[in-house]
Amino acid sequence: QVQVIESGGRLVQAGDSLTLSCTASGPSFRTYTLAWFRQAPGKEREFVGGIMAPDNVINYKDSVKARFAVTRDNDRNTLYLKMNRLIPDDTAKYFCGVRFGFTAQPMNASRYGYWGQGTQVTVSS
C-alpha cells in the first residue's frame, strides 16, 4: 500500500508562483510513475504533468507547458509541481497520482492506483 500526501495549495493572486509537493511512501519510489492532475468543481479530473518510470520522461498538458514544471526528488520520496504565472483558470484541487512502473497512457487518471486527498489552489483575479 502506498500513502500519498499532497501539500502546498493556497489562495494566490493571478501572476503569482506556487510550488506543490507530493510525498509517496514505499521503498520503490524510484520506480513509480508520478503525475499531477487537477479537478475544478463540475469538471473532470485532468492531467497536468507527470514523470514516467523508468526513464523519467516528462509530459505536460499543453496549456501549462510554458508555465509549470514537474520534478522529483527520489531521496525525499517527493514529487513537485512548480507553477508560474498562475491564472484564475488554474483554480482547482490538485491531486498526485502514483502507479508502479511504466504506462503507455500517463495522461489517463485510471492508470494510477494511488491518490492523495488533494490540495486546493485558488487563483484570484
What mean pLDDT value characterizes the chain? 96
- The β-bridge partners of 100 are 32
Percent of the chain with pLDDT over 70: 100
Short-list 91, 123, 121, 122, CA closest to 9: 121
Summarised one tens digit per residue, pLDDT across range 5-54 is: 999 999 999 999 999 999 999 889 999 999 999 999 999 999 999 999 88
Q: What are phi and psi of 123, to 5 degrees?
A: -110, 115
